[in-house]
Structure 1
C-alpha cells in the first residue's frame, strides 16, 4: 500500500510539473507516466484518466497554496517562497487559463479575498470589484507572461532569485503613485466626457 501511495504522489508531482509547463492538452498520459517512472497502466489505476489526474493535481495545489497564502499576504514567513511553491503557482495559473474548475474556483476565491482586504483599507476606489479583478489579473500576468518578463529582467523569473527581483519591483510599483490625484480626476473627467458622448 505504501508503495502505491508513493507512486501516486510521484505521478501527481510529475503531472503538476508537466501541466505547468505544457498545459493540460500538451502533456500526455505517456509523458507523465515516463516522468514519474511508472507505467501508463499504473497511472490509470490510480487516477482513471487525465481528467481525474488533473482534478487530483488541482486539489493538491489548492490545498498547498491556501496554507501559505495568509503568510504571503501578511508578509510573514517569506522563507516559504520555495521552488515548489513557485511551481504550484505556475501550475494554478496554467490550470486557470486552461479552464480547470478548481483553477476558476481559486480565482473567484482570490477576488472575494481581495474585496474583503480592500474593505479593511483606507483606499478609495470607484469600482471595488473591478479594481480587485484588475489587480489580480495584473499579478497573474507575471506568471502567464513569464517568458517576456524574464527577457526584460535578463533572468528566469521562474527561479527563486528571479522571482525575488519581480517582488522587489512589485513593491516599488505598489508603494508609490504613478500619477497625482489631480491627474486622475482630470482623466476621469475626460472618460466621462468620451463615454457620455457615445451613450445611445
Structure 2
C-alpha cells in the first residue's frame, strides 16, 4: 500500500504531486469553489506560477484530482476484492485515512453541478457496468443497475449532513465513517426481499413496461 495521500512531509513527492495532493486536501475540506489557487500553492509550499505551469488553471487541477482520486479508490477496491486483502488485519487500518479523504473529496466534487462532476459520475457508471457484466449474472438492464449502484454508494456522502445527524456522528470523520461503512456492508450482505416477493414485483414492472411500450406505439400510429 502506498503512503497515505496528502502527507506534506513526504520528501519523495514531485512538485506536481505535492500540488495535486494539496489541492485534493483543500477541495475535500472546502469544496472546489472555495479553495483558491493561491491557497493550494501555499499548502503545497510552491509558487503560484508553478501551479499554473503544471496544471494551467484550477479546472485543470480539478481534472487531475478527479482522475487521481478515482484511480486511488479503485486501487483500494481492487486490493480488497480481487487480491483478497480484506482479510489482512492490517489492511483496513492502513487504507482508512486515504479512503476517508477520497470520500470527503467526492462528497464535494459530486455536488457542484459542473461538467466535471457529470463526467466523473458517467465514468464511474461505465466502470460499474464493466464490473456488473463480469460479476453479476442475470441482470436485465446493466446500465440502470450500474447507475443505481454508483448512486447508492455516493448517496450517503452527498447527504452526509442528514446521515450524520441521524447517526449523531460526522460520517466524514473517522468514527462516523466507520459506522456508516459497517451499516452499508450489512445492507449489501443481507437479502432484503424474499425470492417470491422479488419475482412478483419484477413481473409487475414487466407488465407496466409492456403497457408503456404499447401506449407509445399507439401514440405513433395516431394520424396527425
TM-score (norm. length: structure 1):
0.77
Task: Confirm or deny that 1:168 pairs with 2:168.
Answer: no
Tell which structure's C-alpha radius of gyration is larger: 2
Task: Confirm or deny that 1:114 pairs with 2:114.
Answer: no
- Indicate conservation of the 8 Å contact 2:15/2:46, yes or no: yes
Partner of 1:146: 160
Distance change (3 Å), C-alpha of 1:14 and 1:193:
same
Greater mean deviation of Cα atoms: 71-80 or 93-102? 93-102
Instruction: Output the aligned Cα RMSD.
Output: 3.0
Aligned residue pairs: how many? 194
Task: Confirm or deny that 1:179 pairs with 2:197.
Answer: no
Distance change (3 Å), C-alpha of 1:68 and 1:41:
same
Task: Confirm or deny that 1:189 pairs with 2:207.
Answer: no
- Indicate conservation of the 8 Å contact 1:93/1:103, yes or no: no
Distance in 2 (CA, whole Å) between partners of 1:29 and 1:117 is: 42
TM-score (norm. length: structure 2):
0.70
Partner of 2:74: 66
Distance in 1 (CA, whole Å) between partners of 2:211 and 2:129 is: 32
Distance in 1 (CA, whole Å) between partners of 2:110 and 2:184 is: 22
* Uncovered stretches (5+) of structure 1, i.e. residues with no partner: none
Distance in 2 (CA, whole Å) between partners of 1:146 and 1:9 is: 29
Provide, for residues 105-151 of structure 1, a one-character-per-residue CA deviation record: whole Å limited to 9, x for no partner. Answer: 344223312331214xxxx5433332232122101112222221111
Q: Shift of the alpha carbon at 1:69? A: 1.9
